[in-house]
Amino acid sequence: QTSFYGRFRHFLDIIDPRTLFVTESRLKEAVQLLEDYKHGTLPPGVTNKELWEAQKIKQAIIHPDTNETIFMPFRMSGMVLMRKSLLLQVVGLLLPNQTLASTVFWQWLNQSHNACVNYANRNATKPSPTSKFIQGYLGAVISAVSIAVGLNVLVQRANKFTPATRLLIQRFVPFPAVASANICNVVLMRHTELEEGIDVLDNKGNIVGSSRIAAKHALLETALTRVVLPMPILVLPPIIMSILEKTSLLRSRPRMILPVQSLVCLAAFGLALPLAISLFPQMSEIETSRLEPEIAMATTSKTVVYNKGL
């Protein structure tokens, strides 16, 4: 995962929807095969292809910190299975001339899903009480709705714009609203990591200590990912649709606008997910000299790794 291409290939495996249909017995076989490899007790005849397939299954289903199964709808591969639901959210966020009620509903729906994904794929080296989840969820939803409604009100009151320009600007409102809310969502859902720190490991996989500095890096990297993720989904479709709506095909057939917009959003989503989560490796590396003095003194390793989360 030292290169973007390597991470891209790695995360394509993690979001592979076929892993959603792996049975419990097949999962146990994959985990046992990797344990046998780790301890040098592999049965004869096991190929590299089988080992990589086992690794793919484990990384897509098992949380790296808790070693527990991630609830299926909130796995990264689950986002592909829920593409219709996510596509509905994106189309809803991009609908023109939205009312206050529709803006609140679509932002609530989007951030509710994001909160569950953030929680399910967080760094879980430290326990997180349910009350923290509820606080983070409420904060994320309130921030998303406030930003979206506030931006819409500002655009509607901008008398200097023509109706056509105002409509075009309104189509771009969902991106800053969702991007800002995504940052709040990540920070609020995982703020206990900033308070308690996250475990950092040496090159042998041994826990060196808990670092708040590493937690800051983990949340920053995840937040940047959440800003990039909606960019192709919420920025490209308005641009493309503003061009397509001027064509004679859609002018003469206005009922086709929504189906065409859905297809454009679907293509943008398929591009955005693997690209965004490939920006940073899941197991990120940091120099020990940049961490707390007690951690730097506890190991001879020049670098340590931590689970950034997804």
Q: What is the pLDDT of residues 169-204, one digit of tens each?
A: 666 667 777 777 778 777 877 778 888 888 888 888
In a domain, 35, yes or no: yes
Q: Which domain holds residue 50?
A: 1-62
Which CB contacts under 8 angstroms, 24+ apart, belong to 27-36? 27/57, 27/58, 27/61, 27/62, 27/69, 29/54, 30/54, 30/55, 30/57, 30/58, 31/58, 31/62, 34/58
In a domain, 113, yes or no: no
Element at 200 (helix H, strand E) = strand 198-201
Quick check: 29 pLDDT over 80? yes
Nearest CA to 1 out of 301, 309, 280, 286 is that of: 280
The predicted structure's pLDDT at residue 5? 62
In whole angstroms, what is the distance from residue 152 CA to residue 134 CA? 27
Please tell me the total count of domains within the chain: 1
Give 103 or 194, the one with higher predicted confidence. Answer: 194
In a domain, 18, yes or no: yes
Mean pLDDT across 113-119:
78
In a domain, 45, yes or no: yes
In a domain, 23, yes or no: yes
In a domain, 293, yes or no: no
Quick check: 34 pLDDT over 80? yes
In a domain, 53, yes or no: yes
In a domain, 39, yes or no: yes
